[in-house]
Structure 1
Amino acid sequence: MSSPILTSGCTRIRIGGDRPYEAVVGHGLTREAGETGRVLGAEPLRVAVVHSRALLATARRIARELTDEGRIVVSLEVPEGEAAKDMTVVVGLWRALADAGFTRSDAVVAVGGGATTDLAGFAAAGWLRGVRLVLVPTTLLGMVDAAIGGKTAVNLPQGKNLVGAFHPPAGVLCDLDLLDTLPPADYVSGLAEVIKAGFIADPEILRLVEDDPAGAVHTRELVERAIRVKAEVVTEDFREDGRREHLNYGHTLGHAIERVAGYRVRHGEAVAAGMVFAAELARLDGRLSAADTQRHRTLLAAAGLPTTHGGAWAPLRDAMGIDKKTRGNRLRFVVLDAIGRPALFTAPDEDLLRAAYERLAR
């Protein structure tokens, strides 16, 4: 795994590839003068700070820092949550950048959860075919997942993240102090992605969560471990041509649940149910032991995440057919052959899928 570099109380985790960058984890990063500017570099004169209304105070603090450095800062407010990930919002951002005279040497700073960083990243990828991007995730989900790896996307009525681009940021600032004001349900939702990293690659994460299901004692270690899992995978497979698909454990059904619910279900809650489904699917196929399958339910429930999901199977099955991992008409699921041993399961029998869902719906 990528080794952390400790500097001034911060952990700097390198994400490699054609355009390497660092994810910086620590306390007070958005209050430390010059940290955002350091990641941006000297070249950008104009900077768009993209944020939701709830993050206005944090965005203003960053904007003041950048203004004090002599940069021209434009503050762009976007809707909360998944409502932001819409092409009309993207076009609004592009028009704002045009009105402010943004050039290819300018930059975008995204302040918010995964939806905001996905949206702002896509806008930065498309503006003049790509401008510099800095991500300041403010949620646990954003820090350990959405902000790492260079994926950007918006949604369509037909499905989640169907329109997107690969656009690595110049850097990611994970200020752990921002988690102090995160609503408990949103923190728990983020734990789903942390636990996912444990199931696919780092079983020590599972032990830490089992030791403290609320995550309060081990927050920093959990964040750093989950980032290192993703950093190693995306460094090896940036464009999801191979191993990166393993990061989608629980997401095939999870995204379907989100879409069918009109995105009124938190991402982590949907992914938690998706992981239980994937575990049941692997168990029914003879891949995963009953004990490891039960461990999914026990651990996720202890963390406060759902381990069941009701509702009709047919709309969820239809929604999965439009998932990004589908090839032709062949569904592809990430499953486990054992804890820490992910694999792809292509075109499982429909009866097997339905049986796994019946286990989830109990």
Structure 2
Amino acid sequence: MNALAEAAPAAERIVVPVALAERSYDILIGRHQLCEAAQVIASRFPGARAAIVTDTNLATLHAPALESCLQQAGVTATRLTIPPGESSKSYARFSELCDGLLAAKIERNDLVIALGGGVVGDLSGFAASVLRRGVRLVQIPTSLLAQVDSSVGGKTGINSSHGKNLIGAFHQPALVVCDTALLDTLSEREFKAGYAEVVKYGLIDDAAFFDWCEVNWRRVMEGGPERDHAVATACRAKAAVVARDEREDGDRALLNLGHTFAHALERLTRYDSARLVHGEAVAIGLSLAFRFSQRLGLCSGQDAGRVAAHLAAVGLPTRLQDVPGGAGTASDIVEAMTQDKKVKRGALTFILAHGIGKSFIAPGVATETAHDFIESELVERI
């Protein structure tokens, strides 16, 4: 069994419910939860077989421990692996995974278990949403970014040459298990990238949580109770938004703070994780969103500066110039933005802010306004 599963007994578990009527589910949060999760799976889904979808890195790191725990709980499991990285969110990998799940004879009452970061979760969730017209999904996210964002809320999908996550479906999981001890194996870069999504929740509508992050971010990285608190706070915030607006018809769009910029940057860097990973793009996007708000007279320079200063203190990028190899021209970035899912009738939608914890949806932003701002960023911050 993996050393992480043997190192310590399961810590006290935090349970965050996601209230969606007949599609409601729980998020279980705590250290050393893999075997606890296996017991929960066995009790909640009696007789179900499982297909564990993971990537080739995690296949040796965490999958054996999960398989052992499932076996002890009496759950038969098959393992399917994909290559790591954003490039796996493709038509080709999606097709291969669906065929693999069918070959494993996964039926509608069985389970697809996504063991991995956002790529594994998004791809597995999309496959689960269409396999036999929908099979149950369990998310066991292994990255900080996936634990606080992509594993919760039912968004699944793959990328297109036209942009990120443009092909997909809403498919709520039946269970989410956030074992925060799994984050101990992340690289410093991966953990910091995920932290950008943690901070986002304070910037959206919880200024007190942003204050807490400024004081406690080092302890979150060290893995003490502050880490569990940060993950639980983020999950509660997302669960509340998803319960109000499951399919992003209203204020769920606030969760995209910084993402209009971020997705454009990811597209322009061709999803090359050596240059830029999602959380790093989000950190730049958050900084740009607050500076854009400042430029439009919506937000004080003090708040915009405070956001960038905190992200920089953590070690995250905050400027377009921080993208290795460059982010392209202002026209390149605006063109990439026009393929964003939040574009309506050609006009851009941004999440902007009146201050920290005071974000709002700003539809109908003219492309010329965005172009002028981005151009000023590229020129003034060299």
TM-score greater than 0.5 by the shorter chain = yes
Please, which runs of 5 or more residues in structure 2 have no aligned partner? 1-9, 322-327
Structure 2 partner of 1:291: 302
- Deviation track 1:233-260 (CA, whole Å, cap 9, x = no partner) reads 0111000000100000000010000010
Q: CA deviation at 1:352?
A: 2.8
Alpha-carbon distance between aligned partners in 2 of 1:315 and 1:180, rounded to the nearest angstrom: 38
In structure 2, the partner of 1:357 is 374
Q: Match of 2:96?
A: 92
Is the CA contact 1:273–1:360 (under 8 Å) kept in the aligned structure 2? Answer: no
Q: Which stretch has the larger CA shift, 215-224 or 237-246?
A: 215-224
TM-score (norm. length: structure 1):
0.93
Q: CA deviation at 1:281?
A: 1.6
Is 1:303 equivalent to 2:314 in the alignment? yes
- Residue of structure 2 aligned with 1:178, choices 171, 182, 185: 182
User: CA 1:355–1:87 in 2, change beyond 3 Å: closer, same or farther?
Assistant: same
Q: Which one of the candidate residues 9, 14, 38 is aligned to 1:11?
A: 14
Equivalent residue letter for 2:348: L
* Aligned equivalents of 1:203, 1:240: Cα separation in 2: 23
Superposition deviation, residue 231 in structure 1: 0.8
Match of 1:317 in 2: 334
Pairwise CA distance, 1:125: 0.5
Matches within 5 A, 1:205-244: 205-214=209-218, 215-216=220-221, 218-244=226-252
CA distance in 2, matches of 1:349, 1:122: 33
Tell whether the 8 Å contact from 1:213 to 1:302 is kept in structure 2 after alignment: no
CA distance in 1, matches of 2:99, 2:13: 37
Match status 1:338 vs 2:355: yes
Distance 1:11 1:213, change over 3 A: closer
2:271 corresponding residue in structure 1: 263
Change (3 A) 1:146 1:33: closer
CA 1:359–1:14: 2 relative to 1, 3 Å = farther
The CA deviation at 1:104 is: 1.1
Look up the equivalent residue of 1:183 and give its one-letter code: S
Alpha carbons of 1:312 and 1:343: their partners in 2 closer, same or farther (altered >3 Å)? Answer: same
C-alpha deviations, 1:153-203, integer Å up to 9, x for none? 111111000011111111111101101111000000001101111100222
Whether 1:188 aligns to 2:192 is yes
Please name the residue that 1:4 is paired with.
none
Offset at residue 208 of structure 1 (A): 2.2
* Local SS of the residue matching 2:213: helix
Residues 88 and 210 of structure 1: CA distance in aligned 2, closer, same or farther (over 3 Å): same
Which residue in 2 is equivalent to 1:203? 207
Aligned to 1:139: 143
Count of residues in correspondence between the two structures: 355
Gap runs ≥5 in structure 1: 1-6
- Alpha-carbon distance, 1:120 to partner: 0.5
Contact 1:288 1:336 in 2 (8 A): yes
Match of 2:84 in 1: 80
RMSD over equivalenced CA pairs, Å: 1.8
Aligned residue for 1:212, secondary structure, equals: helix
Given the alignment of the two structures, is residue 29 of structure 1 paired with residue 37 of structure 2, yes or no? Answer: no
Contact 2:347 2:367 in 1 (8 A): no
Q: Separation in 1 of the partners of 2:67 and 2:109?
A: 18
Letter in 1 for 2:132: L
Contact between 1:189 and 1:305, CA under 8 Å: does it hold in 2? Answer: yes
Q: Is the alpha carbon distance of 1:351 and 1:306 closer, same or farther for their aligned partners in structure 2, counting shifts above 3 Å? A: same
The verdict on how the C-alpha distance between 1:357 and 1:40 changes in structure 2, with shifts beyond 3 A counting, is farther
Q: Distance between the aligned counterparts of 1:255 and 1:196, measured in 2?
A: 15
Residue deviations 1:262-320, cap 9 Å, x none? Answer: 11211011011111211122112221111111111111111111111133112211110
Aligned-residue sequence identity (percent) comes to 37
* The 10-residue stretch of structure 1 (311-320 or 166-175) with the greater mean CA deviation from structure 2: 311-320
CA pair 356-38 structure 1, distance change in 2 beyond 3 A? farther
Runs of 4 or more above 4 Å deviation: none
| Residue type of the alignment partner of 1:135 | Q
Q: Answer with 24-33 or 234-243: which moved more.
A: 24-33
